[in-house]
Amino acid sequence: MSNLTINVASVLQDDALLNFNSPAISKNQLHLPSGNFVDRILAMTDRNQNVLNNFNRILNTGRLAGTGYTSILPVDQGIEHSAGASFAPNPTYFDPESIIQLAIEGGCNAVASTFGVLGATARKYAHKIPYIVKFNHNELMTYPNTFNQIPFGTIKQCWEMGAAAIGATIYFGSDESEAQIQYVADMFHEAHEYGMVTILWCYIRNAAFKVNGIDYHSSADLTGQANHLGVTIQADIIKQKLPTNNGGYTALNSGDSSYGKFDNSIYTKLAGCDENGSGGHPIDLCRYQVANCYMGRSPLINSGGASSGAGDLKEAVTTAVINKRAGGMGLISGRKAFQRSMGEGAALLHAIQDVYLDDSVTIA
C-alpha cells in the first residue's frame, strides 16, 4: 500500500513476528476488522442507529479511514498519573488544545480524554475528530493513595459536548470492582440510549496477582477473563494491555489457595502454552484476548504502554504487529506520542498506523 512512512520489517529488525502462522485459535473463527464491520457485525446487535453512526464515524476518520482499524490518542494521564509527571517531558500538553491538535496531526481515528480537556475544546474540534470522553478515573490524590475508579461527570454531559463515544476503566479483581461493574454497566446502557459508542479499559488490579515475584496483571488468562466481563456489560470496544505472560490461574491456585474456575486446556488448546501456562507465542496470547471479546465481535484495541525513549518506535510497531496479526482492531497509544514534540509524536502515531495500512502484515 502506498504512502507508508516506515518499513515495518526494518523497524522490527526480526521477521519472527511477521512469519508466525500457526496460531492455536484459527483466524477463521474470528470476526475480523474490516471496512464494513458495522454493517456486518454491529448492525445485528441491539445498538440503536445513532450508535452505528458514531461507530462508523470513528472507523472513517483519520489515516486508517475505511480499513476497519483504529488508532486512538488517549490522554487521561493528567489524572491517572498526575499532570506534572505526565506533561513534564513536554509542557505544551498542559494545554488541552495541544492534545486535540496532536490527534488530528497524527491522523488518529479519535481522541480520548477527560471531561475537562474535551469540554474545553469541544466547540472548536468535536465536529472535526470523534471525541471519546473518559468518564471515570483513579484520582491519585488521597493519602495514602487508593486505587479506585470514580465517575467525574455524567453521560448527558458527554452527549452535550458532542462526543461520539465514552470510555471507562474497571479494576477487575479489586475490592471495588463489584461497585465499578454495576455503575459502569448502568452508564454504558445510558450512553447507548444517547447513541454513543462504549469503550472499556478492562484492567485488573489486586496485590495477590503477583505470585513468587511474577506479575500476572497482564497475563493472557486473567486479562482474557476481564475482557469477557467487559463485553458482558456491552462494551462495544475493549481496551487491554498486551499480554506479557500466561498462567495467572495456575499461579493463583498453587499450594493451598483456590481462585476462580479454569481448565488447563485454556493454555494447551487455546494459547499454545504448556499445561501450567508457560510459553506461548505473543500472537497466540493476544488472540486469546480477542477470543474472549466474543471472537472479535467487540473489537480489541491494545494499549501502547509507557514511553521508554529511544525504544518507543520499535515497541509501538511491535505491539501493533502483534495486535493486528492476532485479530485486534488497533492501538490506543498516548505517552509514547505526547511525551515528545508535536512532530515526533505525530510521526510515531503514523508509524503505528502504517502497520495497519501495510497489506504484507497479515492476520496469522
Could you give the residue numbers annotated as active site?
239
* Neighbouring C-alpha atoms within 13 Å toward the C-beta of 89: 18
Instruction: Report the C-alpha gap between 33 and 66 in whole angstroms.
Output: 10
DSSP letters spanning 182-220:
HHHHHHHHHHHHHT-EEEEEEEE--GGGEETTEE-TTBH
Instruction: Report the C-alpha gap between 115 and 92 in whole angstroms.
Output: 19
For the chain, where are the alpha helices, taking DSSP H only? 8-12, 16-19, 37-40, 49-59, 77-80, 83-87, 96-105, 115-119, 122-125, 155-160, 177-194, 220-232, 248-252, 265-268, 282-291, 312-326, 335-338, 342-357
13-41: buried (b, 16+ CB within 10 Å) or exposed (e) per residue?
Answer: eeeebbebeebbbebeebbbbbeebbeeb
Distance of CA 271 to the CA centre of its chain: 20
Please report, for the chain, how many H helices and E strands are present, in that order. 18, 12
Contact 300, 238 (CB under 8 A): yes
